[in-house]
């Protein structure tokens, strides 16, 4: 028995996958967008399952507060502030196996998403912001490329496999991303490791199915909660008037928000232009109360501080972040505390 066969013996014995399915997995290329909690778990699950090629992309660095959830990182990564995608690649290399891993330290946007998805058979969502998810949705529908949405916050989250032309896309169900401040985020509402693990497991199972035996799979929206021990499956359908998969208007892809971050010279401050949707400053202020200091909402301006940075958010979504001159870091912080 060849090493390869031996390694995947238990998996190929699962009849619906079999040796043919395993061979398909070994020929598959999957883009993992985001490499934190969900992305790291997805990358590990897919690599251990023998997916041939993984492209990991993340712009962030490992921090100590990631360690309860982000399975591919350890304390050394946090101490050395290693880039997440590079740390993930290192950990996957220790697991070994046939998977080739490409690790990219980039912010995913309309300028690079087409290059990142080139040659991919599937995209899995490990990102932490809705702007990127709507961009992924646009590019995948345009290219007839399946992707698996996953979102987690608190003790639960959502999973939706998007099979363009077969089932609904993200915009069929949620036409627009809600304004920042309306939905809870992991920064404001916290997040539990088992919720991450369950969402990533559902996404990974669907990913294996899509890569090997896509026909017969009926896309559904899954809603799970590990605190109440609840899993709900919701039948969902396509919206024929959907902006994205119905009318084929790929707004997030073709009208990108450009040049979002600019360093204000000599001030140790970065200005970040808002995402497409304007924030609800009132609700954002309430949501930030438990995590931020000095939260003050006056008229059209919201001010607060977290760690060493001070934030000023304007009604149009523009923000000044004092305490850094690193553009990528500022974008990460914006998405963490202000974005959706």
In the shown chain, the binding pattern of residues 244 to 283 toward Zn ion, with x for contact by CB under 5 A and - for none, equals xx--------------------------------------
By beta-carbon proximity to Zn ion, the closer residue of 240 and 299 is 240
**Least CB distance from residue 39 to Zn ion, whole Å?**
24
By beta-carbon proximity to Zn ion, the closer residue of 40 and 219 is 219
By beta-carbon proximity to Zn ion, the closer residue of 4 and 174 is 174
**Least CB distance from residue 127 to Zn ion, whole Å?**
19
Q: Which listed range, 30-38, 49-57, 60-68, 243-251, lies at the site for Zn ion (CB under 5 A)?
A: 243-251
Residues 63-66: contacts with CB under 8 Å, at least 24 apart: 66/36, 66/37
Please select the residue that binds Zn ion; options are 87, 155, 242, 277, rule is CB under 5 A: 242
Quote the CA–CA distance of 131 and 179 in Å, as a whole number.
11
**Least CB distance from residue 175 to Zn ion, whole Å?**
9
Please select the residue that binds Zn ion; options are 169, 211, 253, 313, rule is CB under 5 A: 169
Number of residues that bind Zn ion (CB under 5 A): 6
Quote the CA–CA distance of 204 and 71 in Å, as a whole number.
15
By beta-carbon proximity to Zn ion, the closer residue of 68 and 165 is 165
Instruction: Quickly count: other Cβ atoms within 10 Å of residue 300's Cβ.
Output: 10
In the shown chain, the binding pattern of residues 172 to 201 toward Zn ion, with x for contact by CB under 5 A and - for none, equals x-----------------------------
Nearest to 312 by CA among 331, 329, 298, 291: 298
Q: Which listed range, 115-123, 161-169, 220-228, 261-269, lies at the site for Zn ion (CB under 5 A)?
A: 161-169
In the shown chain, the binding pattern of residues 111 to 150 toward Zn ion, with x for contact by CB under 5 A and - for none, equals ----------------------------------------
Subset of residues 33 to 72 that bind Zn ion, contact rule: CB under 5 A: none
**Least CB distance from residue 253 to Zn ion, whole Å?**
14
Please select the residue that binds Zn ion; options are 33, 41, 171, 292, rule is CB under 5 A: 171
**Least CB distance from residue 161 to Zn ion, whole Å?**
13
Nearest to 293 by CA among 275, 279, 280, 306: 306
Quote the CA–CA distance of 141 and 138 in Å, as a whole number.
5
CB 116 within 8 A of CB 55: yes
Quote the CA–CA distance of 304 and 294 in Å, as a whole number.
5
By beta-carbon proximity to Zn ion, the closer residue of 160 and 333 is 160
Per the DSSP assignment, residues forming a β-bridge with 203 are none
Segments in the chain forming alpha helices (H): 3-7, 9-13, 18-26, 37-48, 75-79, 84-95, 113-117, 130-143, 170-173, 186-189, 193-212, 251-254, 281-288, 327-337
* Sheet containing strand 293-298, strands side by side: 261-264, 269-272, 319-322, 309-314, 301-306, 293-298
Longest dimension (CA), the chain: 71
By beta-carbon proximity to Zn ion, the closer residue of 244 and 302 is 244
| Interface with Zn ion (CB under 5 A) | 169, 171-172, 242, 244-245
């Amino acid at each position: 028995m060849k090493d390869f066969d031996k390694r995947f013996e238990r998996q190929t014995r699962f009849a619906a996958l079999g040796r043919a399915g395993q061979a398909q997995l070994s020929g598959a290329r999957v883009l993992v967008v985001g490499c934190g909690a969900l992305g790291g778990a997805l990358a590990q699950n897919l690599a251990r399952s023998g997916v041939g090629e993984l492209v990991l992309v993340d712009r962030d660095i490992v921090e100590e507060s990631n360690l309860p959830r982000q399975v591919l990182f350890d304390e050394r990564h946090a101490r050395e502030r290693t880039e997440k995608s590079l740390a993930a690649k290192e950990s996957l290399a220790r697991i070994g196996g046939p998977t080739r891993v490409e690790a990219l330290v980039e912010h995913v946007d309309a300028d690079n998403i087409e290059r990142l998805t080139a040659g991919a058979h599937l995209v899995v969502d490990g990102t932490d912001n809705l702007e990127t998810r709507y961009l992924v949705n646009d590019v995948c529908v345009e290219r007839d490329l399946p992707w698996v949405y996953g979102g987690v916050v608190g003790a639960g989250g959502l999973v939706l496999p998007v099979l363009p032309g077969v089932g609904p896309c993200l915009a069929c169900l949620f036409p627009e991303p809600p304004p920042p401040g309306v939905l809870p985020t992991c920064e404001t509402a916290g997040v539990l490791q088992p919720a991450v693990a369950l969402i990533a497991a559902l996404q990974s199972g669907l990913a294996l199915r899509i890569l090997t035996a896509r026909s017969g799979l009926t896309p559904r929206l899954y809603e799970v909660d590990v605190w109440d021990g609840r899993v709900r499956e919701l039948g969902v359908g396509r919206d024929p008037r959907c902006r994205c998969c119905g009318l084929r208007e790929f707004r997030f892809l073709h009208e990108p928000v450009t040049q979002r971050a600019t360093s204000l010279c000599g001030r140790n401050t970065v200005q970040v232009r808002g995402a497409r949707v304007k924030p609800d400053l009132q609700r954002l202020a309430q949501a930030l109360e438990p995590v931020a200091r000095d939260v003050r909402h006056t008229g059209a301006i919201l001010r607060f501080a977290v760690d060493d940075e001070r934030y000023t958010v304007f009604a149009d979504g523009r923000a000044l972040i004092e305490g850094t001159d690193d553009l990528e870091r500022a974008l990460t912080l914006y998405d963490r505390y202000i974005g959706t």
